[in-house]
């Protein structure tokens, strides 16, 4: 590892618990939580609103430029539902959160998503789109799927991820 502190990517279908998990992991480790979706909105790292998919069209170059300096530092928990356009070298650990259909459906409905957007995302989870994207983009040794159905899972995942990261930092010394 070329950085004193690793960078973690927490990915998964919308609603699987990326932001909740990332905040807790960052808090636990004293790392910086970077919510890429928030950055895209706040720093306008997009090329406008996509009417069909009800999301911003990501400007991947702008996103990568904005992330380059903080990621070079290390000590980040990056939270995003995609992962194939980040440089592979940025991440030391890639977590893919997974949630069962009924749970995910409820969470997305509560979020006020349209019926179409709810079903698209549930289908994305069933087809394991993000898992496959992660498997194609990163070395298999660093890609870790974790279940995120219950609050017990959440607590356990935070402890597990923090343990892995502490192990990496210990090994690097
Ligand atoms: P994402 O960032 O992946 O879209 P969020 O972290 O915003 O997901 O979580 C979506 C909703 O699901 C929130 O209301 C959150 O409290 C809840 N949630 C997240 N993870 C879990 C979990 N493991 N168990 C139960 N509820 C969860
Ligand atoms: Mn989120």
At 173, is the pLDDT very low, low, confident or very high (cuts 50, 70, 90)?
low
Residue nearest (by alpha carbon) to ligand 1 atom 20: 17
Measure the CA–CA gap between 79 and 15, rounded to whole angstroms: 12
What order of strands is seen across the sheet that includes strand 93-98?
32-35, 76-79, 8-11, 93-98, 143-147
Measure the CA–CA gap between 136 and 133, rounded to whole angstroms: 5
Q: Which residues line ligand 1 (CB under 6 A)?
A: 12, 14-20, 107, 148, 150-151, 153-154
- Confidence check: pLDDT of 147 > 60: yes
- Confidence check: pLDDT of 101 > 60: yes
ipTM of the complex: 0.99
The ligand that comes nearest to the alpha carbon of residue 20 is: 1
Instruction: Give the CA distances from residue 22 to residues 8, 29, 77, 89, in Å, rounded to whole numbers and listed in that order.
Output: 9, 11, 6, 20
Ligand 1 mean position, distance from CA 104 (Å): 9
Instruction: Tell me the per-residue pLDDT of 8-39, one tens digit each, with 9 for 90 and over.
Output: 999 999 999 999 999 999 999 999 999 999 99
Residue 19, annotated as binding a ligand: yes
- Confidence check: pLDDT of 172 > 70: no
- 61-65, 133-137, 152-156, 169-173: segment of lowest average pLDDT: 169-173
Measure the CA–CA gap between 149 and 100, rounded to whole angstroms: 7
Across 91-108, average pLDDT: 98
Residue 1, pLDDT score: 58
Residue 18, annotated as binding a ligand: yes
Domains in the chain: ranges and CATH: 8-168 (3.40.50.300)
At 53, is the pLDDT very low, low, confident or very high (cuts 50, 70, 90)?
confident
Ligand 2 mean position, distance from CA 171 (Å): 31
Residue 170, pLDDT score: 86
Residue nearest (by alpha carbon) to ligand 1 atom 5: 17
Residue 83, pLDDT score: 95
Pairing of strands 143-147, 93-98: parallel
């Amino acid at each position: 590892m070329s950085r004193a502190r690793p960078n973690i990517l927490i990915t998964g279908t919308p609603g699987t618990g990326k932001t909740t998990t990332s905040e807790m992991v960052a808090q636990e480790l004293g790392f910086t939580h970077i919510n890429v979706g928030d950055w895209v909105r706040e720093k306008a790292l997009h090329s406008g609103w996509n009417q069909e998919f009800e999301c911003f069209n990501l400007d991947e170059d702008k996103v990568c430029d904005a992330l380059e300096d903080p990621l070079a530092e290390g000590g980040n928990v990056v939270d995003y539902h995609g992962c194939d356009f980040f440089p592979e070298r940025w991440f030391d650990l890639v977590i893919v959160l997974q949630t069962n259909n009924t749970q995910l459906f409820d969470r997305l409905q509560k979020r006020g998503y349209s019926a179409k957007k709810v079903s698209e995302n549930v289908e994305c989870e069933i087809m394991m789109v993000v898992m496959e994207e992660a498997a194609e983009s990163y070395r298999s040794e660093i890609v870790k799927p974790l279940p995120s159905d219950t609050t017990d899972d959440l607590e356990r995942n935070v402890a597990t991820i923090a343990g892995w990261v502490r192990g990496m930092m210990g090994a690097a010394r």
